[in-house]
A and B are shown apart, each in its own frame.
Chain A
Amino acid sequence: MTDEVRDMIGKALDGEPPIVLTYDTVLGAGKRRRARRNLGIVGGAVLGVVAVASVAVTVNQLTAASPVDQPATTGTSAPTPPPPAGCVMPPRTGGFTRVPDGVGSQEELAESARLTAALARLDFRLPVGVTMDPVAPEMCAIDDSWGTTVNLRKGSVEAKVLIETMPRGGQPAGACSVPPHGSTCHVVVSSDGYVSRIDGSTRGLPDAPLVVDTWRPDDTLVRILEAGSGQQLLGEEALVRIASSPELKVDWSGPARVMPPEPSAGRAAQLTAVLMGGQVLPGNLGRRKVPGAVNSEPLAFYVSQGGYKVNVDLVDSSGEGNLFINLNPPAGVGSSVDCAGDPHCELGQLPNGRPAAVSRHVDGELIQLSVNTSTDDGAQVYLACVNQSVRTQSGSKRTRPEPPLTTADLMRIAALPGLHW
């Protein structure tokens, strides 16, 4: 359970902004704090004594968070250095597509060593004046991917670059989703079939990272992120070139993650057509966009948080309610439909025979009907209908006696043949 919970919590770190805090800032603050403390304790005369206090920390301790080395070889008399043993990314290192668990199989370590050796042959073609640390980065096993982090510096400008490579798993090349708030995103397709998406962040953060995803014809997907407190030191062209380099090709025949297509505006439009064509709403129900909706039509899917959502207020003579649909990507092995101990839930069956967890929750005046199920391709579908609209949402007050749709209506929607990832 811990891993599952950790993965869940780790999602809160998505979109992590680059670190502004510098070593010099911390060092200055630390020295000031130390000086104040020393003055407070023994007076200024002993400052020099403290300054020469012995250091009781070993280098081993300091490097506890560096890539986890594998058991060292014992051949101290070997005439040639042993081949790289591979490394594992320290657990919970952020910035990569998965949260590293700090564990790597022998096969993953072997690929780590191979990629590290390959990366050593890559010419980063650093711009004049830019230095890179470490000079020879290691591609460490993350989960089912391999990655590294390098620090770039030019004068006072610092940047951090994360490189991650993984099996593409047949995933179609991604596109730029419709940005809610002015993302800078575009796609570059090379003549030899490399598709790179360059995304300058959708979150409007200052110093937003530049992210390049390259779907390669050699069944490799490479993601490179450059983040810094100032100008970018590599930039789009260099990141695309690195992401397309043969040195980052993954050679992996072991188990790899499920790589469903990324959500796209095009697929959202198709899903909307499924919904509209299914005539799933009673004819007397009007549809209203919720405040702040990014979709142009009220009853429409839109890309959100790695999946597709519908959020629409429904209106008839009884009042206003809300329908919410969430379609999440296939969850892979282990996903199942169940009530997870919810006493208000029971297992049912959709018109197409698939199992569904159906619940009715009552909280004061509010009533929520929900259906949880999965599609043939493993996508997770969640529908909820409440007797309260968003437009008129007012605390815990209902805006109609019952939800505008019944459980049977929700199950009918969930069973629409075209409703899948």
Chain B
Amino acid sequence: VHDRDREFRAYFEARVAVIRRTAYLLCGDWHRAEDLAQTALAKLYVAWPRLNRGGQIDAYARKIVVRAAIDDSRRWFRRNETAVDTVPDMPAPAPGMDDMLDVRAALAALPPGQRAAVILRYWEDLPIAETAELLGCSEGTVKSQSAKGLLTLRRLLSAGRTVVEGQA
């Protein structure tokens, strides 16, 4: 038990920030990201003895975070957002826009599935097959979701325009 805790602590110290960042990119809220990281790490602690070598620890933690974040964001999305077919072409200035980060707003504009596909493929650098397994969908869906998400991100960001969170 002592070794387990010591090793788990080493993992915690090394990876808590990375796990929280992935969670944040998926959910867009640092507080929720911290909750997700805590849940993932607590589950990881339980599964610690049976995890094998070869990167499965990270994969397991990622799976917990991704699935929880998607479930969470879908609930949040339904509650707080209005889905639109297209993002506005306009610069969307509004009060306090200096505090808004373009990328955060653009990520928030993506539907949860697209956001997760983009983050897993381009931030976590996961192969298509692994992304599909994590998201519980086909590889074709991953390709289309990540392509659509990336296209939207580029449209929102490439021209350096400002997007206001919650408006896109």
Interface positions of A (Cβ within 8 A of B): 2, 5-6, 8-17, 19-21, 23, 25-27, 29-34, 37, 51-59, 61-66, 92-95, 151, 180-181, 202-203, 290-292, 294, 302, 304-305, 307, 309, 311, 322, 324, 326, 328, 340, 361, 363, 366, 368, 370, 372, 380, 382, 384, 386, 388, 390, 396
Contacts and interface: CB of A to CB of B under 8 A. Distances in A.
Contacts of A30: 8, 41-46
B103 A31 contact: no
A368 B90 contact: yes
B69 interface: no
Contacts of B96: 180-181, 292
Contact of A203 (B51, B99, B122): B99
Interface string B96-114: 1111011110010000000
19 contacts: A11-B103, A12-B103, A15-B101, A16-B30, A19-B16, A20-B34, A27-B5, A52-B1, A57-B48, A61-B54, A93-B17, A181-B96, A292-B96, A307-B160, A322-B91, A324-B91, A366-B90, A370-B159, A388-B90
B32 interface: no
Nearest to A23: B12
A372 B157 CA distance: 13
Nearest to B37: A21
Please give me the 6 A-B residue pairs with the lowest Cβ-Cβ distance, nearest first: A292-B95, A30-B45, A29-B42, A65-B14, A12-B103, A30-B42
Given A9-B103, A29-B42, 18 more contacts: A2-B122, A23-B13, A30-B45, A30-B46, A33-B46, A55-B4, A62-B14, A64-B58, A291-B94, A291-B95, A305-B98, A311-B93, A322-B90, A324-B93, A326-B159, A326-B161, A370-B159, A384-B161
Contacts of B153: 5, 8-9
B21 A13 contact: yes
Contact of A328 (B20, B57, B160): B160
A163 B29 CA distance: 26
A13 B119 CA distance: 13
Contacts of A20: 34
Name the interface size band of chain B.
35 or more
Interface in B1-60: 1, 3-5, 7-18, 20-21, 24-25, 30, 34, 37-39, 41-46, 48-55, 57-58
Contacts of A21: 16, 20, 34, 37-38, 41
Contacts of B41: 21, 26, 29-30
Given A64-B55, A92-B123, A203-B99, A386 B17 contact: no
B90 A372 contact: no
B89 A363 contact: yes
A53 B4 CA distance: 9
Nearest to B95: A292
Interface of B: 1, 3-5, 7-18, 20-21, 24-25, 30, 34, 37-39, 41-46, 48-55, 57-58, 86, 88-91, 93-99, 101-104, 107, 118-119, 122-123, 125, 150, 153-154, 157-162
A153 B37 CA distance: 22
A93 B18 contact: yes
A57 B52 CA distance: 6
B34 A366 contact: no
Contacts of B99: 180-181, 202-203
A66 B51 CA distance: 19
A388 to B, nearest CB: 7
Contact of B8 (A27, A33, A203, A386): A27
B94 A309 contact: no
A300 B73 CA distance: 38
Contacts of A151: 13
B24 A13 contact: yes
Nearest to B9: A23
A382 B123 contact: no
Contacts of B162: 304-305, 309, 311, 324, 326
